[in-house]
Structure formats: C-alpha cells, structure tokens
C-alpha cells in the first residue's frame, strides 16, 4: 500500500512538472518582447548611455544628509533622560561635523552643477 501511494505521488508530480514545462514555453521571441519597456514608448537611445556625474554626486550627498537627519531626530526624544550639557555637546558635535562636511564639499566644487 505504501509503495503504491509513493508511486502514485511520484507519477503525479512528474506529470505536473511536464505540464508546467509545456505550458510555460514562450511562443516566439520578437522585437517588442525583447526591447525594454519605457512607459509605452520605444527607446530612442541605448540604455548604456552615461549619465551626469554631478547628478550622481548630488544624489549621494542628499542620501548622506538624509541619513544624518534621520540620526538626529531621535536625539530630540532622548533630551528628557540625559543631562542637558552632555546632550547639548553631542548635538553640537554632530551638527558641527555636518557643517564641516558641507563646507569641505563646497570648497571642492562638488555642489557646482554647471561649470
């Protein structure tokens, strides 16, 4: 009886796998199916075209400052449970580090979009 159930389950699973492979076959590969989809329009240029490095740098700077702001927000909640002088010193160090980083990037010309 056990052998019969095992054989039946094996045959059923093999039949299901064969049916899935026959159903999932793609019919014909044509140009529309192989081209990338861009809002319903045909792409006019290569997808490998280079992009502006200034845009990339501004995006990275935005992410860095966004994460640092997310780090600063919980500091406001901890003000109730810490000593005011320690809390104020910590906040000032973090903000001073952010300002120094921004000044350094400004001096290096990273923030200039057009040259």
pLDDT digits (tens, 9 = 90+) for 32-75: 666 666 565 555 666 566 667 777 777 888 888 788 888 888 88
Q: What is d(CA 91, CA 93) in angstroms, rounded to the nearest whole number?
A: 5
Residue 87 placed within a domain: yes
- Structural domain range at position 62: 53-107
64, 79 Cβ separation under 8 angstroms: no
- Enter the pTM of the model: 0.46
Residue 20 placed within a domain: no
Output the pLDDT for position 56: 78
19, 11 Cβ separation under 8 angstroms: no
Residue 47 placed within a domain: no
């Amino acid at each position: 009886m056990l052998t019969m159930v095992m054989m039946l389950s094996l045959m059923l699973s093999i039949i299901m796998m064969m049916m899935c492979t026959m159903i999932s076959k793609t019919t014909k590969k044509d140009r529309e199916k192989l081209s990338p989809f861009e809002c319903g329009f045909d792409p006019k240029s290569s997808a490998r075209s280079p992009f502006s490095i200034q845009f990339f740098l501004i995006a990275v700077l935005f992410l860095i400052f966004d994460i640092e702001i997310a780090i600063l927000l919980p500091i406001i909640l901890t003000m109730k449970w810490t000593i005011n002088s320690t809390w104020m010193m910590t906040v000032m160090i973090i903000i001073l580090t952010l300002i120094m980083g921004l000044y350094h990037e400004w001096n290096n010309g990273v923030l200039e979009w057009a040259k």
